[in-house]
Amino acid sequence: MKEQQIFIGGVWRCGGGAPMQSIFPADGSVNATLNAASLSDLEEAVASGERAWRNPGWRNMLPHQRAQILHRVADLIEARLDELAQLQSRDNGKPLAETRGLVMSAAGTARYFAAACELLEGELPTPRQPHLLTFSRYEPLGVVAAITPWNSPIASEMQKVAPAIAAGNAVILKPAEATPLMALELARLFEQAGLPAGLLSVLPGKGSIIGDALARHPQVRKISFTGGTVTGRYLAHVAAEKLIPASLELGGKSPTIVLEDADIELAARGICYGIFSSGGQACIAGSRLFIQQQVYPVLMARLLELTRALRIGHPFAAGTHIGPLISAQHRQSVMEYVQLAQREGGTLLCGGEIPADPTLAAGSYFQPTIIEGLNNQTRVCQEEIFGPVLVAMPFSDEADLIRQANDSIYGLAAGIWTRDTGRALRLSEQLEAGTVWINTYKVFSVSTPFGGFKQSGLGREKGIQGLKAWMQQKSIYLATGNGMNHWCD
């Protein structure tokens, strides 16, 4: 496309770090070249953010005025829907049908937090003492760090930036090294919408260099990270050392449960979407499938039929279900897990290979894969693959099902398919997961908190709770009488 600049304190310029590239996973071509941010760029971004969020013009800006900026960003996103969707597809290879949805999701997120910041109220508790009034208010934290993944850039980036800005902070956004383009475009949108300079900087680069330095910077007052559990655990230690809050949305190995009374067609289609959309590159992907024994044969037959009919193709081709994985290196990792599953005793029912279509040879494509014959203790059932690989397991005993479903270090999401709503709700209470879908999967609402149990993370994004997570609460005591304190008499 062209050489890209990075955005530091309201200024577009060449980064001071090493050269880097954005690669189109569909054919290995170069989208853009740029220089990563340097540590001195990081220092400048933090200093600029510190000045900007303390500026009275920003700190005293009325909530509806901040909301106007977010609404303008949403308007700009919607006006450029197709252009932004194509850019997102080039950045990570997702089909246009998916990236259009992600772009519109980002616009909706901006509008939600625009409304939320106008509606946010303090609290007025009733003190148990006479002649005393107490109240509390929510105030910004200051300069905050948002570190985002490569699988859904514009959606996950707006999920952090919009509430952080609505809350009055200055944001340093560090996108994934593989997908810098959407974060930089987001900075252009906020700039066009009138966000004061310094309140948003975008610093592409290696996580081990820029991400680490950003998290450790003494003036950064919160870390919000979406990505792998190993990195998340490290960042939690950094936050603990600094005594600052951290929001961590990490890995998953989500169970999907099909009971004997489920609508087979509804379940098969939902399972297929839940694991194979995005090429399985989603933390909430339903990668472990537990099917009640009575319906195992019929459900598996329909699921295999649907999976074999999925269209693997170029992200820009009409009707494509599955585009390329993010890189050839990641595809190799997914393939090695499939080979491991076979060594562990699994039977490959479909997929497990690179597509034979010569028109796809230059991209990092991989077939949607279904494996059976494994138990939940195998590595393939315990480790996050982050690819289009589903392991199907029959069950007969409900208590054993819950034990197996919860037998994971992760607890991000789960799915239940049944016509019995009461039973579904009872099971959902026993599942150790931050989100449970019943007769649907992988649908979201920006007003509903999202996060994980166990090693799937800390804290919640979205909803009013997600706005308050970027703020700190201050309590104020006001004496309403003239009573004298006689302690020092």
Residues 320 and 400 in one domain: yes
Number of domains in the chain: 2
Residue with tokens 């810098």: 180
- Residues 268 and 238 placed together within one structural domain of the fold: no
Residue 120: name the closest of 474, 468, 477 by CA: 468
What six digits make up the tokens of 88?
């997102």
- Per DSSP, the three-state class of 99 is helix
pLDDT at 450: 97
Percentage of residues in the chain with pLDDT exceeding 70? 100
Q: Check which CATH number belongs to the domain holding 177 and give it.
A: 3.40.605.10
Whether 105 is in a domain gets the answer yes
- Residue 156's closest CA among 464, 461, 468? 461
Could you give the CA distance from residue 379 to residue 391 in angstroms, rounded to a whole number?
Answer: 11
pLDDT attached to residue 203: 98
149 and 235 fall within a common domain: yes
Residue 130 reports pLDDT greater than 90: no
Cβ–Cβ < 8 Å for 421, 261: no
The answer to whether residue 249 is catalytic is yes
In this structure, the answer to whether residues 283 and 137 fall within a common structural domain is no
The reply to whether 397 and 469 lie within a common domain is no
Residue 2 pLDDT > 90: no
Residue 228's Cβ-count burial label (10 Å; 0-12, 13-18, 19+) is middle
Question: Are 299 and 160 found together in one domain?
Answer: no
For residues 319 and 340, membership in a common domain is answered with yes
Give the pLDDT score at 485. Answer: 85
Q: Check whether 137 has a pLDDT greater than 60.
A: yes
Based on the domain organization, do 461 and 434 belong to the same domain? no
Output the pTM of the full model. Answer: 0.95
302 in Cβ contact with 369 (< 8 Å): no
- Same domain assignment for residues 160 and 259: no
Can you read off the two tokens belonging to residue 478? Answer: 């006001």
Question: Per-residue pLDDT for 382 more than 70?
Answer: yes
Is 486 part of any domain? no
Whether residues 260 and 320 share a domain: the answer is yes
What is the residue-averaged pLDDT of the chain?
96
CATH of the domain at 313: 3.40.309.10
10 Å CB burial of residue 329 (0-12, 13-18, 19+) is: exposed
pLDDT at residue 3, rounded to an integer? 78
Tens-digit pLDDT profile for residues 213-255: 999 999 999 999 999 999 999 999 999 999 999 999 999 999 9
The model's confidence at residue 395, banded by pLDDT at 50, 70 and 90, is very high
Are 244 and 263 found together in one domain?
A: no
DSSP letters, 30-69, are EEEEEEPPPHHHHHHHHHHHHHHHH-HHHHT--HHHHHHH
Angle at alpha carbon of residue 365, lines to 364 and 371, rounded to 5°? 125
For tokens 């930036």, name the residue.
Answer: 161
352, 397, 371, 403: which is closest to 300 by C-alpha?
A: 371
Q: Answer whether residue 480 is part of any domain.
A: no
d(Cα 472, Cα 138) in Å, to the nearest integer? 6
Per DSSP, what are the bridge partners of residue 34?
A: 4, 20
Distance between CA 73 and CA 71 in Å, rounded? 5
pLDDT given for residue 128 in this prediction: 82
Active site residue: 249, 372, 384, 461, which one? Answer: 249
pLDDT of residue 199: 98
What phi and psi, each to the nearest 5 degrees, are found at residue 448? -105, 125
Average pLDDT over every residue of 164-178: 98
The whole-number average pLDDT for the span 76-101 is: 97
Is 362 within the bounds of a domain?
yes
3 state DSSP class of 123: strand
Per-residue pLDDT tens digits for 275-326: 999 999 999 999 999 999 999 999 999 999 999 999 999 999 999 999 999 9
pLDDT at 117: 95
pLDDT tier for residue 188 given thresholds of 50, 70 and 90: very high
225 part of a folded domain = yes
- Would you state the pLDDT for residue 1? 56
Q: Are residues 55 and 131 in the same domain?
A: yes
Assigned domain for 65 exists: yes
Q: Is residue 183 part of a domain?
A: yes
Range of the domain at 262: 255-438
Whether 156 is in a domain gets the answer yes
Residues 6 or more apart in contact with residue 27 via CB below 8 angstroms: 362, 363
- Who contacts 489 (Cβ-Cβ below 8 Å, separation ≥6)? none
pLDDT tens-digit profile of 430-450? Answer: 999 999 999 999 999 999 999
Report whether 416 contacts 439 (CB < 8 A). yes
